[in-house]
Amino acid sequence: MTAAHVRKALFGFYILVFFAYLFGPLVIMGITAFNTPAYPTVSPFERFTLDWFSVLAADKDLVYGLKKSLWIAVLVVLVSVPIGLAGAMVMSQIYARARSFYYLVVVSPVLTPGVIIGISTVVFWRQTTNFTGTKFIYDGTVLTVLAQSSFIAAYTMLIFLARLARFDRTLEEAALDLGATRARVFFDILVPFLMPAIASAAVIAFLSSFENYNTTTFAILADKTLTTVLAGRVRQGTTPALSALAVTIVAITVLGAILYEILKRREEARASRRAAVAARAETQEFAVAPAAAE
């Protein structure tokens, strides 16, 4: 055996261990969801059952938390995507020292531990509410949206920055020369160009909000979301109903991913068809144009 063979075998072994580490815990959790004992266990595998899924559906706290989490995630998308877009546009328009200072401020939430964002939001709004009397802000849902958006907006900003870097400014100028207003340029040129980035920013914002724990556990106050309910459960002791929940989440997201993939392929196919048609039209135009010139 040569050295290259040894290296290849070692790499194969590493890949095996890596993916065992990545999937092992989840696979085992998945199996426990279908086993009868009240404590989640794989061996002995007594009997296949789906009871834990009905236990899950009947759990009022979890269902309440789930609804709350979904609601908060929608609000976070609505708050953080526009903010991220604005942040990225401002970033792309300033330069030099002002830019690095601005960058430091808006990227800092990404580099701040989540617990600290949660704590500082609660502390600030408690004090501010005390002397301004704006009681509606000091509410679990509102505070959670504010706290989560502060760093999720930074994520979305990074996505928009990447997309804006490829934006062709001459398109804007052309539209202005043709008499479009600034607002129309924004809505008819920039926003359509950013649409893919807006979609992925929304998805990322939704997911990061939905599964956030560190920030939420402080900002949610006495209220609860799915993750805080789950955290309480897991600490008290574990039941296979939680495994069933994980299986459900995985099933839904796998379906979502497959759907996304199908849509994307279809989009790509459509785009390439359109490109082919455009190319054909162009060659025809070239063939016709000289004749017309004569």
Partner 1 sequence: MHSSIGQFVIYGLPPLVVAAFFVMAWTERRRLGDAAPPGFVARNGWPVATFLIVAVGLWTVFMIVMPLMAMIDLSFRPKLPPPQWGGPKDFYTLENYKYFLFGSTTSTASWNVTHLTAFFLTIWVSIIITVLDFLICYPLAFYMAQVASKARLRFVLLLLIAPYWVNEILRAFAFRLLFGTQGVINNALVAIGVLDQPIDFLAADVALYAGLAYAYLLMMMFALYNAIETLDKNQIEAARDLGAPWWHIHTFIVLPHAKPGIASGATLVFMLTAGALAAPLILGGPRSLWFTPIVYDRFYQAFNWQQGAAYALILLVACIVFVLGVLKIFRLRLGEIAR
Pseudo-torsion of CA 72, 201, 106, 96, nearest 10°? -160
Asked whether position 12 contacts partner 1 by CB under 8 A, the answer is: no
Asked whether position 156 contacts partner 1 by CB under 8 A, the answer is: no
Nearer to partner 1, 234 or 279 (CB): 234
Cβ(209)–Cβ(72) under 8 Å? yes
- φ/ψ of 82, rounded to 5, equals -60, -40
Asked whether position 90 contacts partner 1 by CB under 8 A, the answer is: yes
Asked whether position 194 contacts partner 1 by CB under 8 A, the answer is: no
- CA gap 41, 253 in Å, rounded: 24
Of positions 62, 68, 76, 121, contacts partner 1 by CB under 8 A: 121
- CA gap 150, 290 in Å, rounded: 59
Nearer to partner 1, 26 or 275 (CB): 26
* Nearest distance from C-beta of residue 138 to partner 1, angstroms: 13
- The amino acid at residue 168 is D
**Residue 178 per-residue DSSP state:** T
- CA gap 265, 272 in Å, rounded: 11
- φ/ψ of 35, rounded to 5, equals -105, 145
- φ/ψ of 233, rounded to 5, equals -60, -50
Binding-site size for partner 1 (CB under 8 A) equals: 94
Asked whether position 150 contacts partner 1 by CB under 8 A, the answer is: yes
Asked whether position 136 contacts partner 1 by CB under 8 A, the answer is: no
Asked whether position 66 contacts partner 1 by CB under 8 A, the answer is: no
Asked whether position 225 contacts partner 1 by CB under 8 A, the answer is: no
Closest Cα partner for 89 from 7, 1, 163, 187? Answer: 163
- CA gap 287, 83 in Å, rounded: 49
From 55-63, 111-119, 192-200, 284-292, give the range in contact with partner 1 by CB under 8 A. Answer: 111-119
Of positions 9, 20, 94, 269, contacts partner 1 by CB under 8 A: 94
Asked whether position 26 contacts partner 1 by CB under 8 A, the answer is: yes
Of positions 6, 9, 20, 22, contacts partner 1 by CB under 8 A: 22
Q: Two tokens at 245? A: 């929940």
* Nearest distance from C-beta of residue 218 to partner 1, angstroms: 7
Map the footprint of partner 1 across residues 229-288, applying CB under 8 A. Answer: 230-231, 234-235, 238, 242-243, 245-246, 249-250, 253-254, 257
Asked whether position 28 contacts partner 1 by CB under 8 A, the answer is: yes
∠41-42-48 over CA atoms, to 5°?
100
Nearer to partner 1, 31 or 74 (CB): 31
